[in-house]
Structure 1
Amino acid sequence: MPAISFQSVCKTFPPSRQQRALGQPGLRAVDDVTFRIEEGEFFGLLGPNGAGKTTLISMLAGLSRPTAGSVSVHGFDVQRDYAQARRHLGVVPQELVFDPFFNVREALRIQSGYFGIKNNDSWIDELLHSLGLADKATANMRQLSGGMKRRVLVAQALVHKPQVIVLDEPTAGVDVELRQTLWQFVAKLNKQGSTVLLTTHYLEEAEALCNRIAMLKQGRVIALDRTSELLKSAASNVLRFKTDMNLPWALAQHARITGRIVQLPAKNAHEVEQLLVSLREAGVTVEDVEMRKADLEDVFLDLMAGEQTPLEVAR
């Protein structure tokens, strides 16, 4: 039995009044998505803004109903068996949502009560310690920084010891220390058997943590495979250098440019040589030239820029 199952899931939002007046249809945010996440997996769900990631998670958490298809957690349909499904699920949302009238420990005790759990202080103490919140246990939620509030959200999602942990952009806008603390703790829980579903725009995190990855584009799955296999599909090497000059158009359309840093895909030594010759002939002065292996960001950008036929796979 899979930990999470999406079966032919669609979500269409009704048109606005203006769209109806113009005869335009509503927004189809998720379009026939099917995949499974097995127990104990660390699974990545990637895609650009508006691809449908948060909509899928909202349906998984029971916050939104699918227009068609079904979603289940450990075999419990999130609509029909919502109480059982939610007991198995812990969700860390993108937004910083908190109750300003309680301190951190009280917030976690109240969250435990939602699941009928009493005398949970030993696990709460472990969460506070593991997430660097021990010295904030009696602090009012309003007194915490954004990063500390994010830690409390993680603790709230884990307070009932869910078998499935969903992390929706958990490290967006937080410091390096929190990232390290969070990933160490979540990796520990995953090794102990918890299933983890992660959405993130930090692709180096997904590459380092996730065993398998699905990529969404315009509400559809366009890639679903083990991380290692996705990396094999990319160009084997990337030429990286710095320059203050504009690239010729033929190279610029294939380049990944961040400020002065330029990265160009190259499958073999012959292509590297051709790229360097083209740069020299165009009069582009380069420095700090190096080669590196293609990473998940290269794969992601290639897939998002392409016109691949969406995959319909159930694993």
Structure 2
Amino acid sequence: MKAVVKTEAAPGAKFMDVDVPEPGPRDVLIRVKAVAICGTDIHIYEWSPYAQARIKPPMVFGHECCGEVVKVGSQVTNFAPGDLVAVETHIPDETCYMCKTGLQHICEQMAIIGVHTDGTFAEYAKIPAVCCWKLPKDTNPDLGAILEPWGVAVNGILKGEVNNRTVAVFGCGPIGLMGLGSITAWGASQIFAVEPVETRLKMVPQFAPEAVLVNPTKEDAVKTILEATEGRGVDVSIDISGNAKAIQMAFRVVRRGGRVSLIGLPGAPVELDLTADIIYKEARVFGSTGRTMWQTWYDMQNLMQSGKFDPLPVITHRMPLADFAKGIELAKSGQAGKIILYP
């Protein structure tokens, strides 16, 4: 089969022939129908410090995926050939304290598809059955491929109520855009979308038509939000950017007794004024990683079935898997939403 392979400990990757994997007793083999490019894939392609600490070439990478089951392992009873599935990236060990108490997504021995195991930039992929979410067979595979990143936003948003709340979102990349659409569907009373890249900011109205657009390079974002909320600040402040200045702003604009959800990953430690922005405010702070298995997936399913939000417009480009390098460069440019590759 054809696959994108990280062949060596250096920048780049190759589109090449590899063997079709054989599923183990608790795995399924899927025929990949659509796979999206993620920031993690860019790290692996560029051979960043993140990748150097985790990746052991040669390996297939990629993980945001939808595919059709073509073969199941001997111990798999809940999936069958012909099933359409989306892939949950996190592989829990199912034995640790976290897994046994319903927190599989922060398993103590967590492995990640496309990072610690071969991934889905390929015609076929071996996936642990525990990481498969069954979809209706008529589901658009493009939608199935973006459930994983959409779930990143949903998990962070639903650390508390957003219905009838004022919400500020920092970072309007693909995950931020899907988050804004979800917040709108769940009935936020007022939304602020903060993003320095104009291309991304211009996409916000497709997802949150009533959102106040704030470009922090052109105006004082904190002042704008505080003035619009009578100096009180927002009920909920969500950072999806990982940018240090954005995180600091997220804390400054949250009201007393409000909530801050942190989703984006900073590249270095971030300095915060704990006294003014957390302690005296009695702000509630939540870290959020991945998707809760499987509550987040049910939350997305319920939202899709309600008809109140369709995340598909976040996809701006589609191309063959063979053009993966072009897709990665486009993703790096910040001038695209989600990019789908077809094996």
| TM-score, shorter chain, exceeding 0.5 | no
Tell me the TM-score normalized by structure 2.
0.25
**Normalized per residue, which structure has more helix?**
1
State the structure with bigger RCO (CA 8 A, min sep 6), 1 or 2. 1
- Greater CA radius of gyration, 1 or 2? 1
